[in-house]
Structures are given as structure tokens and as C-alpha cells.
């Protein structure tokens, strides 16, 4: 990620998170959403209508590109890594790996730079800072963060498909999105522990 892109990503946004969230379309099943957006048109059966399949997929992509959508993830233990206390920010630091796999496809913030030795996308982490809530015991709250006992709410805009070749296997496919806003939510209950809106 270049310095210019990072500054753009962290620039203050004109609209509040609440205002943006009310405009967003909820996506309750990310797997089905990705399947519709990316399609599955790579078949060599003689009677398979590949042209019709591709046309349908392109129509879905044209309709959804740029649309603001909201995704809630209840299990984020594979995406969030605890990175300790940040004394300068006076908050706990979390590293978000912006890769959300669903079977053989994935949603990513940006495109993966490469695949690792296990054939998984390599993504640049996004730092999040979560302050200790008033009235919470520091040790217990820290343990919750360390164990990934939180939820994520993402506001994103679909940008386009990507594909990465893999040795001896089908290419890995995904949907690149722009991150518009993010919230860290408690595992149970209402309210939020952290929120950030990014300028787009």
C-alpha cells in the first residue's frame, strides 16, 4: 500500500457511520452474494451455456458495483489478531486481515498481492484501536479481544472481481471491495467498541 493510498484511507469522512449504515443494503449470506457476483462459468460440458452464464454474471456485477452494502461477521477469530496495548493511542490494538473466505471464493479489501505457500491470499493488515469501555475490568476485556470474542460490521462497496492462479488447482477467485466503514461490536448486546469511517 502506497503512502498516498494510506493517507486517503485514513482521511476523515464527510458522512457519519450511522448515516452511511442507514443507506447500506444488508448482506445476510455472504457466500450466496459472492456466488452470484462471481458466477461459476468455467465448465466444458457440451450443453453448458457459457456465454449465457457470463452475460448473467456481468449483469449482476454491473448492478452491484459501487453499491453500499453492510456485512456482519460473528466469528472473526481468523481475521482479528490482538497486538497489545498502544500507549500512544491509549487503546488496545487489533490487526484486521481483510480477507473473508466463503468456500472457494472470498471478499477482500483491495486485491491480494500474492498467494503464500499454502495457496492463500496475502493481504495487508488494517490496524484498529479499541479503547477500554467504562466500567469494564481491563484483564477481562483484554482476554475477550485476545480470543476474538467480538463481531465485525463492515460497510463496503463492490469494486470488481479478481483471480489468482494456483498450481495444480483451480484459480482462487474473489471480490475486491472498498472499505467505507467498520465497527467492532461486542459479541453480545448492543453498542459498539470501535468505529471508523474512511473517505471515499
User: Would the pLDDT of 126 be above 70?
Assistant: yes
Stretch 175-179: mean pLDDT:
96
129 membership: H or E segment, kind and range: strand 126-130
The answer as to whether 155 is a domain residue is yes
Helix, strand, coil percent content, the chain, rounded in steps of 5: 25, 40, 40
Who wins on pLDDT, 20 or 43? 20
Q: Which residues pair with 93 in a beta bridge?
A: 129
Stretch 162-172: mean pLDDT:
85
Query: What pLDDT sits at residue 168?
Result: 74
State how far the Cα of 93 lies from the Cα of 50, in Å rounded to an integer. Answer: 47
Contact (CB, 8 A) for 150 and 80: yes
CA torsion 17→20→22→28, rounded to 10°? -90
Domain residue limits at 132: 13-40+47-197
State how far the Cα of 30 lies from the Cα of 140, in Å rounded to an integer. Answer: 31
The answer as to whether 106 is a domain residue is yes
Stretch 75-99: mean pLDDT:
94
The answer for 66, left when phi > 0, alpha when psi is -120 to 50, beta otherwise, is left
The answer as to whether 2 is a domain residue is no
The answer as to whether 1 is a domain residue is no
Q: What's the distance, CA 140 to chain centroid?
A: 27
Who wins on pLDDT, 102 or 199? 102
User: Would the pLDDT of 87 be above 50?
Assistant: yes
Stretch 70-96: mean pLDDT:
95
pTM of the predicted protein model? 0.86
Half-sphere exposure of 170 (CA within 13 A, CB side): 10
User: Would the pLDDT of 112 be above 80?
Assistant: yes
Number of domains in the chain: 1
DSSP alpha helix (H) spans, 39-194: 50-64, 138-146
The answer as to whether 7 is a domain residue is no
The answer as to whether 125 is a domain residue is yes
Query: What pLDDT sits at residue 47?
Result: 79
Contact (CB, 8 A) for 195 and 17: yes
State how far the Cα of 159 lies from the Cα of 145, in Å rounded to an integer. Answer: 31
The answer as to whether 8 is a domain residue is no
Q: With pLDDT > 70 as the criterion, what percentage of the chain qualifies?
A: 92
Contact (CB, 8 A) for 131 and 197: no
The answer as to whether 26 is a domain residue is yes
Amino acid at each position: 500500500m502506497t503512502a498516498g493510498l494510506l493517507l486517503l484511507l485514513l482521511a476523515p469522512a464527510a458522512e457519519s457511520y450511522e448515516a452511511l449504515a442507514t443507506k447500506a443494503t444488508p448482506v445476510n449470506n455472504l457466500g450466496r452474494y459472492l456466488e452470484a457476483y462471481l458466477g461459476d462459468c468455467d465448465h466444458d460440458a457440451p450443453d453448458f451455456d457459457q456465454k449465457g452464464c457470463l452475460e448473467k454474471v456481468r449483469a449482476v456485477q454491473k448492478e452491484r458495483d459501487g453499491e453500499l452494502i453492510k456485512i456482519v461477521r460473528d466469528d472473526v477469530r481468523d481475521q482479528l489478531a490482538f497486538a497489545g496495548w498502544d500507549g500512544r493511542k491509549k487503546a488496545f490494538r487489533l490487526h484486521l486481515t481483510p480477507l473473508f473466505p466463503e468456500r472457494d471464493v472470498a471478499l477482500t479489501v483491495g486485491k491480494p498481492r500474492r498467494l503464500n505457500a499454502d495457496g492463500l491470499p496475502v493481504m495487508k493488515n488494517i490496524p484498529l484501536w479499541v479503547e477500554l469501555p467504562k466500567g469494564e475490568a481491563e484483564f477481562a476485556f483484554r482476554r475477550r479481544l485476545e480470543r476474538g470474542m467480538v463481531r465485525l460490521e463492515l460497510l463496503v462497496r463492490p469494486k470488481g472481481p479478481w483471480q489468482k492462479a494456483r498450481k495444480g488447482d483451480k484459480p482462487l477467485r474473489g471480490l475486491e471491495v472498498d472499505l467505507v466503514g467498520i465497527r467492532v461490536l461486542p459479541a453480545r448486546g448492543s453498542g459498539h467498541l470501535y468505529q471508523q469511517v474512511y473517505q471515499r
